[in-house]
Amino acid sequence: MTKTAWVFPGQGSQAIGMGADLFDLPEAKERFAEANDILGWSIAEVCQNEEDKVSRTLYTQPCLYVVESVLADLMQAQGQQPDAVAGHSLGEYVALYAAGVFDFATGVTLVKRRAELMDSASDGMMAALIGCDREQLDQQIQQTPGVVLANDNNAAQVVISGAPAAVEAILNTVKAKRAVKLNVSGAFHSPLMKEAAAEFQTVLDQATFKTARVPVLSNVDPTPATDADILKQRLGQQMTGSVRWREISLQLAEIGMTRVVEIGPGKVLTGLIKRTCPTLVLENVSSLSDIP
């Protein structure tokens, strides 16, 4: 029997025009209207803005959450259900929504505050390293104060985060096929987000979480969990903790998933999973036409 996991991408997967086929869909209009009321701006207008407004953190995160949540709703309306869920960074919020941990409005409220805090975080830098010597990288990180492994995406791709001087020091010493400084406002998934995380915690504490309908694999702890308190605690650690996506990929296979569907724009996560777990059947639902 096929066991299917749904995974949801995060910041970096956004694109101008995403969700265009959903905005006028009768069954989705209510969701977009509800989100617009909470946010105080229009998802459709931002996603279709030709000046790439959707790539500013303040807008990226709510837009991704809403578009991906609507696609997940449409999948469930067709009678499809996941056996497990996971999301990359921001995508974890959609995973929790799809698993019934909180309602749509709660998710929008949380993501709105998260985006505001992360957009205003001006300290720090992030950089992606592709094809680097992991042993050398781990050793250099241990020896360099002020930098951490932010995303362990797969064996060939990682992201480091921290103080600009510390990140530059790693880039200058670790050999990699390619190194790219990321266009982000701060050092996400690092201790430099501690103040933002503390502020966010006050909003998170007020949110109502329920037991998940299916296991959720969290960024900071990839072991499957359904308990509401555990999932909330893990989400609270996410802003300063590492995204352990390589381990999540391995865990999906470990718990018997045979098929993974990436729901959201782009094909980033299926690309990452393919390298770690080549035997998994991978599919993408980026738009309405992709829904079986």
pLDDT at 211: 98
Q: 286 exposed, middle or buried (CB, 10 Å; 0-12, 13-18, 19+)? A: buried
Q: List the catalytic residues.
A: 89, 189
CATH fold of 4-120+190-290, please?
Malonyl-Coenzyme A Acyl Carrier Protein; domain 2 (3.40.366)
List the chain residues with pLDDT less than 70: none
Tokens of 113: 């505050």
pLDDT per residue as tens digits for the range 89-131: 999 999 999 999 999 999 999 999 999 999 998 789 999 999 9
Spatial contact of 104 and 76, defined as CB atoms under 8 Å apart: no
- Which distant-in-sequence residues (6+ apart) come within 8 Å of 277 by Cβ? 249, 250, 252, 253
Name the superfamily (CATH) of residues 125-181: Malonyl-CoA ACP transacylase, ACP-binding (3.30.70.250)
User: Tens digits of per-residue pLDDT, 269-289?
Assistant: 999 999 999 999 999 999 999
Domain boundaries, the chain: 4-120+190-290, 125-181
